[in-house]
């Protein structure tokens, strides 16, 4: 068993991300200072998380209980090998997104920029809280914080389309959490008398063996409620909020798809499966394979829909729906190789997908083009943007040496380890489909003659190009050095 250490320092990254939004508001009349707050807060939060890395790699689990509401219901924070992955990614990409935001929001002279940065920062506070949640109650609180404070971001343009997309976003995410996630939490407490997850191990979770033996169907029902309640993971049929949320500014789409929202969804689902139920309970009740098959269905169908989309953000949205299920298929297969592949994809997908949305936003700021069919020749005008977009696309497809290849390698081997040929075919089919909807974008940009006048177009400003090139480069680095995140997974799963 991992050594558990009580550490009040777990409150530090939360404190920084909680103070940041109010500091942003106080500096609302000076845009340079306002944006500087986000940079500083992102750096401090990342460093605070980074300070735990040596202990995590030594097998330690850090916890801290802030207060108790009822016996077995606490606001408790914890950090293990799984939590540190999301805990490092969120502030690092927050810093990159802030640089990109400067170029995007100022370039388009967007309104309500202080509100925008304020809500952006609180969404990161929610993401950090999810990463640090040691029990289901704490997870639920911060999960809802993300939903509430990303609503104004989705509705940012304040037009009919924006409000319609934001309304669907809120109905799906708040509706599922109230109808399914909250009852799942209540059932867990009634059955177990606690909501504390078993951090630092994948073997056992909240549910004792005698509870599982006495109430197998109730435990199964609880599991189904959790899966339905975590709609941020975008498993079909609870996925439609995600394409509808594309009415938001492109940096918000990057936040939704790469940093806070969907990553909170797949992270929470991974946490519930591995630390809430554990491999023993999942296997004894036969819960893993049905979840994996639902994820495989989502992967293939979402990829087929992405092929039909000419709007670049819509294509990326359905790509996200598909790619998120890679994580779920990995953790629900429960084999060591598959779990490693699924959890690695939390990081690998984050860096590649934020690059793709950064690229889409840079294209829009400089050309006001959204249609892929009108992007012929743009790569020759914006080589850095489309070069980074191409690298990130290779990661989504799963080509070496980019990091998406590593995830898929482990996932494919995990399906073989589990003897699941159908799931193997789904993964291989998705790779072909990914190539089908990403390669044409790159090919059009560099090798086809323009269909519109592009003479006056030029590369995006450095505040946008630098972060998208950095995140693309990180996709390559993680392809060569997957152990940067893999070591946390090995410690967590004792692989």
DSSP string, 276-322: IIHHHHHHHHT-HHHHHHHHHHHHHHHHHHHHT--BHHHHHHHHHHH
Report percent pLDDT > 90 for the chain.
67
pLDDT at 2 over 70: no
pLDDT at 257 over 70: no
The string of pLDDT tens digits covering residues 65-76 is: 998 998 888 999
pTM: 0.93
pLDDT for position 220: 96
Query: Mean pLDDT highest for which of 96-100, 146-150, 221-225, 314-318?
Result: 221-225
CA-nearest of 9, 29, 92 to 478 is 92
Can you read off the two tokens belonging to residue 229?
Answer: 């309640």
Distance, in Å, from the CA atom of 357 to the CA atom of 326, rounded to the nearest integer, reads 19
Helices 136-154 and 182-192, packing angle to 10 deg: 170
pLDDT for position 1: 56
Can you tell me the mean pLDDT for 258-280? Answer: 90
Can you tell me the mean pLDDT for 84-113? Answer: 86
Can you tell me the mean pLDDT for 141-163? Answer: 88
pLDDT for position 402: 92
pLDDT for position 222: 95
Q: 191 and 215 in contact (C-beta within 8 Å)?
A: yes
Long-range contacts of 467-470 (CB under 8 A, 24+ apart): 467/96, 467/97, 467/99, 467/100, 467/358, 468/100, 468/355, 468/358, 468/359, 468/362, 468/384, 468/385, 468/388, 468/389, 469/384, 469/388, 470/96
The string of pLDDT tens digits covering residues 26-71 is: 998 898 999 999 999 999 999 999 999 999 999 899 999 998 998 8
The H or E element containing residue 123 is helix 113-132
pLDDT for position 72: 83
pLDDT for position 161: 84
Least confident of 90-99, 253-262, 377-386, 475-484: 253-262
Beta bridge partners of 382: none
pLDDT at 456 over 90: no
Can you tell me the mean pLDDT for 104-112? Answer: 77
For every residue of 390-449, DSSP letters joined together read HHHHHHHHT-TTSHHHHHHHHHHHHHHHHT-HHHHHHHHHHHHHHHHHHHHHHHHHHHS-
pLDDT at 234 over 90: no
The string of pLDDT tens digits covering residues 400-429 is: 889 999 999 999 999 999 999 999 999 999
For every residue of 219-250, DSSP letters joined together read HHHHHHHHHHH-GGG--TTS-THHHHGGGS-H
pLDDT for position 15: 95
pLDDT at 184 over 90: yes
Distance, in Å, from the CA atom of 54 to the CA atom of 456, rounded to the nearest integer, reads 51
The string of pLDDT tens digits covering residues 281-338 is: 999 999 999 999 999 999 999 999 999 999 998 999 999 999 999 999 999 999 999 9
Residues 6+ apart with CB under 8 A from 179: 228, 229
pLDDT for position 243: 84
pLDDT for position 334: 92
What are phi and psi for residue 77, nearest 5 degrees? -110, 150
pLDDT at 463 over 90: no
Can you read off the two tokens belonging to residue 359?
Answer: 């690229």
Mean pLDDT of the chain: 91
């Amino acid at each position: 068993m991992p050594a558990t250490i009580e550490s009040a320092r777990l409150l530090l990254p939360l404190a920084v991300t909680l103070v940041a939004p109010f500091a942003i508001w106080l500096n609302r009349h000076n845009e340079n200072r306002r944006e500087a707050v986000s940079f500083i807060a992102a750096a401090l939060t990342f460093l605070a998380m980074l300070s735990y890395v040596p202990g995590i790699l030594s097998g330690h689990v850090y916890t801290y209980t802030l207060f108790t509401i009822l016996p077995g219901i606490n606001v408790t924070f914890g950090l293990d090998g799984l939590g540190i992955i999301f805990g490092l990614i969120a502030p690092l990409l927050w810093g990159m997104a802030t640089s990109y935001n400067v170029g995007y929001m100022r370039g388009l002279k967007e309104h309500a920029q202080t509100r925008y940065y304020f809500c952006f920062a609180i969404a990161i506070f929610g993401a950090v809280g999810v990463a640090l949640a040691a029990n289901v109650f704490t997870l639920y609180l911060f999960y809802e914080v993300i939903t509430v404070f990303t609503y104004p971001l989705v509705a940012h343009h304040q037009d009919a389309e924006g409000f319609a997309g934001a309304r669907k976003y809120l109905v799906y995410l708040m509706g599922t959490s109230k109808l399914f996630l909250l009852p799942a939490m209540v059932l867990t407490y009634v059955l177990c008398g606690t909501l504390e997850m078993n951090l630092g191990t994948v073997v056992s979770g909240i549910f004792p063996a005698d509870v599982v033996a006495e109430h197998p169907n109730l435990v199964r029902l609880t599991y189904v409620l959790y899966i339905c309640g975590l709609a941020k993971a975008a498993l079909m049929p609870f996925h439609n909020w995600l394409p509808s949320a594309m009415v938001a500014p492109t940096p918000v789409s990057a936040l939704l798809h790469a940093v806070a929202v969907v990553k909170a969804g797949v992270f929470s689902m991974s946490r519930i499966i591995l630390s809430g139920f554990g491999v023993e309970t999942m296997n004894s009740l036969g819960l893993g394979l049905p979840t994996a098959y639902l994820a495989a269905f989502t992967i293939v169908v979402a990829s087929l829909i992405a092929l039909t989309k000419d709007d670049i953000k819509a294509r990326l949205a359905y790509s996200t729906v598909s790619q998120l299920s890679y994580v779920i298929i990995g953790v629900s297969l429960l084999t060591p190789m598959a779990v490693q592949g699924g959890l690695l994809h939390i990081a690998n997908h984050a860096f590649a997908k934020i690059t793709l949305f950064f690229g889409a936003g840079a294209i829009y700021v400089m050309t006001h083009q959204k249609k892929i069919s009108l992007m012929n020749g743009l790569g020759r005008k914006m080589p850095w943007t489309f070069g980074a977009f191409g690298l990130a696309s290779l990661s989504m497809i799963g080509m070496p040496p980019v990091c998406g290849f590593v995830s898929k390698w482990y996932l494919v081997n995990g399906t073989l380890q589990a003897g699941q040929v159908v799931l193997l075919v789904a993964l291989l089919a998705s790779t072909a489909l990914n190539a089908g909807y990403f390669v044409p974008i790159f090919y059009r940009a560099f090798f086809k003659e323009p269909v519109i006048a592009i003479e006056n177009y030029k590369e995006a400003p450095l505040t946008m190009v630098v972060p998208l090139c950095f995140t693309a480069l990180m996709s390559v680095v993680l392809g060569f050095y997957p152990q940067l995140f893999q070591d946390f997974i090995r410690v967590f799963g004792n692989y």
